[in-house]
Amino acid sequence: MASDSDIALLENAAATGSGVRWYGGRGVFYVHSATFSGATITLQWSIDNSTWVNVDRTGDTYCTLTAAGQGAFELPPCFLRASISGGPPSAVFAYARGTRVD
């Protein structure tokens, strides 16, 4: 049986969020914002909730967004966060949504 998860990474934010537990599997990172103002929002993952790595490999932009959109990913159990650089953006909403088979 499948169970859906929808995890809020940023809600009405303008700065990088805190780590949130991801239980593993495929997901979609999606972002919408009132104003990006040149900001880049990147999905990052961490094993220890301390050292962060971009989900995208160098050159890929599936989960690195400069405008509202979405990108797919697949990760082991870890922590996720939405990292904001540049800008300043306002009213950023970022989520990770996945389907996990129980």
The residue type of 94 is: A
Question: What is the pLDDT at residue 82?
Answer: 97
pLDDT per position as a tens digit, 63-97: 999 999 999 999 999 999 999 999 899 999 999 99
pLDDT category at 57 given cuts 50, 70, 90 is confident
Rounded average pLDDT over 27-53: 94
pLDDT per position as a tens digit, 1-27: 345 678 999 999 999 999 999 999 999
Question: What is the pLDDT at residue 100?
Answer: 63
CA nearest 82: which of 48, 37, 46, 38? 46
Query: Which residue shows structure tokens 């009213």?
Result: 91
* Alpha carbon 34 to chain centroid, angstroms: 17
User: Does the pLDDT at position 60 exceed 60?
Assistant: yes
